[in-house]
Amino acid sequence: MMSGRLSRATWIALAIAAAVVGAVAVVAAGLWATIGTSEITPAGWVALILGVLLTLALGIGLVSLMFFSNQHGYDDGDPRR
């Protein structure tokens, strides 16, 4: 990929990935349409907000640990460290 041209295998992988994303979008749109109008209770909103915040905190924490590990050289050198 350094030469600027994509190999045939890369194009095939991209086509498969695009087809899978498209299929998931079609299924999700169909399921969304069958739900119709639905209400979320206050407890549902609390659960949704807490789930989003905890997921973001976990992701930010793990990425921070990854950068910390890289900056301090824990990813280099002796594996017995």
Q: Where are the domains of the chain?
A: 1-37, 39-81
DSSP codes joined into one string, 12-70? HHHHHHHHHHHHHHHHHHHHHHHH-S----HHHHHHHHHHHHHHHHHHHHHHHHHHHHH
pLDDT by residue (tens digit) across 52-74? 999 999 999 999 999 998 888 77
Q: What is the pLDDT of residues 34-57, one digit of tens each?
A: 887 778 899 999 999 999 999 999
User: Does the pLDDT value for residue 78 go beyond 90?
Assistant: no
pLDDT for position 63:
95
